């Protein structure tokens, strides 16, 4: 599927100052070391292309939630350091993202130079989509490139407002790929098309379940949200996660799917624990036999076998949400087994960002997936079939 928005390869960049909104919201450990730089690597093709075309590069991003305050632990300084290594050239780091010092640094940039601005969210005006702040960001360059898919569902100054103050705006290579993969998979999939939906809550995925339910051939439900569906079938689920106000919805969705000929799969067994304490006793039981007071925290081996067989003959697989509490070793096997099953399927495999991307990364299968989205919430919004403010703000081709 071809993106309908103007893209970076349709823009004359030579001699221009190009503001690239990236998503460098990456994890840092307690000593402020980067633990996963995949979002930085994902932006490299766009950054290198702009520099190679003889433009000066002005990178901007947010990091974390500083709530409009300059918090030193959320500085983008570690990002500048890592980018120097990844790009193999100097990256100038600005002390702020607006103001006279920043303008002075921008005025000294030569073609091919790279400048990284400090955290946009150190200013409350960023999340308020403040016009004055957006105009000040816009005054820094001639061309705006949105490469921040992970934040494209936000109405922020550097995502939406800035487009009104730049002569030219377009989507970067990563944004283009995200939209083409995610929209393309849903609109025109090679069949059989299998959706795997997991994570904690049904309520967080209502739109996705409804949108994909009309388009998939098979749907697999795992994770905490599965227990809402299981309880809706009248089974005892102990103290497993459940949304009682979603029981009717879960029942209706399952019935609708089956009436349309969509094959609908739920776990047949699960790993249960006596409590949420790390050292608690665990058992593997059929879903019909969850004891009162116990917690279902992962899919069991029979579910892994069943789900593995479902994805084996798929031609398109879309996965959003883990199969259990995979952060804990005792409850990680279901999710990791599904990672390997999806990786080994002879199919177009699309992973919907967030926790699912983290699970794929931890299982060592990142290179085996066709596409891993860099945006969790943004991917969900696109899969729901909703417009995203960051995309809507860009001009059409």
Q: Six-digit token pair at 233?
A: 């079938």
- Decide if 35 contacts 29 (C-beta within 8 A): yes
Residues 42-80, buried b or exposed e (16+ Cβ, 10 A)? bbeebbbbbbebebbbbbbbbbeebeeeeeeebbbbbbb
Q: Six-digit token pair at 311?
A: 């994805």
Q: Angle of helix 173-187 relative to helix 38-52, nearest 10 degrees?
A: 120
Residue 161, Cβ density class (10 Å: 0-12 exposed, 13-18 middle, ≥19 buried): buried
| Helix/strand/coil (H/E/C) assignment for every residue in 333-381 | HHHHHHHHHHHHCCCEEEECCHHHHHHHHHCCCHHHCCEECCCHHHHHH
Question: Of the candidates 44, 55, 19, which has an alpha carbon nearest to the alpha carbon of residue 145?
Answer: 19
- What amino acid positions are annotated as catalytic residues? 39, 201, 354, 377
> What strand order describes the sheet that includes 143-146?
92-93, 114-116, 56-60, 17-21, 143-146, 168-171
8-state DSSP, 217: S
SS3 content of the chain, % helix, strand, coil (to 5): 40, 15, 40
272: helix, coil or strand?
strand
Tokens 């702009």 correspond to 50
Residues 115 and 397: their CA atoms lie apart, in Å, by: 28
Return the number of other C-beta atoms located less than 10 Å from residue 107's C-beta: 9
8-state DSSP, 283: E
Output the CA torsion 67→380→324→267 (10° steps).
160
């Amino acid at each position: 599927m071809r993106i309908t928005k103007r893209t970076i390869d349709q823009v004359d960049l030579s001699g221009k100052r190009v503001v690239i909104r990236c998503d460098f919201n990456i994890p840092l450990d307690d000593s402020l070391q980067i633990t996963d730089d995949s979002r930085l690597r994902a932006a490299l093709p766009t950054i290198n292309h702009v520099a190679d075309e003889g433009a000066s590069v002005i990178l901007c991003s947010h990091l974390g939630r500083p709530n409009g305050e300059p918090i030193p632990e959320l500085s983008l300084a570690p990002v500048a350091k890592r980018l120097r290594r990844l790009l193999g050239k100097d990256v100038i780091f600005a002390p702020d993202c607006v103001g006279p010092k920043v303008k002075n640094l921008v005025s000294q940039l030569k073609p091919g130079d790279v400048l990284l601005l400090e955290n946009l969210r150190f200013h409350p005006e960023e999340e308020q989509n403040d016009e004055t702040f957006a105009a000040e960001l816009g005054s820094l360059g001639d061309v705006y490139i949105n490469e921040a898919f992970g934040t494209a569902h936000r109405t922020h100054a550097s995502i939406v407002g800035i487009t009104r103050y730049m002569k030219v705006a377009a989507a970067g290579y990563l944004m283009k790929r995200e939209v083409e993969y995610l929209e393309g998979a849903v609109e025109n999939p090679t069949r059989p098309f299998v959706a795997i939906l997991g994570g904690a809550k049904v309520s967080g995925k209502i739109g996705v379940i409804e949108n994909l339910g009309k388009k998939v051939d098979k749907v697999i439900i795992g994770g905490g949200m599965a227990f809402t569906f299981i309880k809706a079938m009248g089974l005892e689920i102990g103290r497993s996660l459940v949304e009682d106000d979603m029981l009717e919805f879960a029942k209706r969705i399952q019935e609708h799917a089956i009436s349309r000929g969509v094959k609908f799969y739920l776990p047949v067994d699960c790993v249960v624990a006596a409590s949420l304490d790390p050292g608690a006793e665990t058992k593997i039981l059929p879903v019909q036999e969850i004891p009162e007071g116990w917690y279902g925290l992962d899919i069991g081996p029979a579910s892994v076998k069943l789900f593995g067989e479902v994805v084996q003959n798929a031609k398109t697989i879309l996965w959003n949400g883990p199969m259990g509490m995979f952060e804990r070793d005792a409850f990680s096997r279901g999710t990791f087994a599904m990672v390997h099953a999806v990786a080994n399927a002879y199919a177009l495999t699309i992973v919907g960002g967030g926790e699912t991307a983290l699970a794929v990364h931890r299982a060592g299968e990142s290179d085996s997936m066709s596409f891993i989205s860099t945006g969790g919430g943004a991917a969900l919004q696109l899969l729901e079939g909703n417009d995203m403010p960051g995309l809507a703000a860009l001009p059409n081709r």
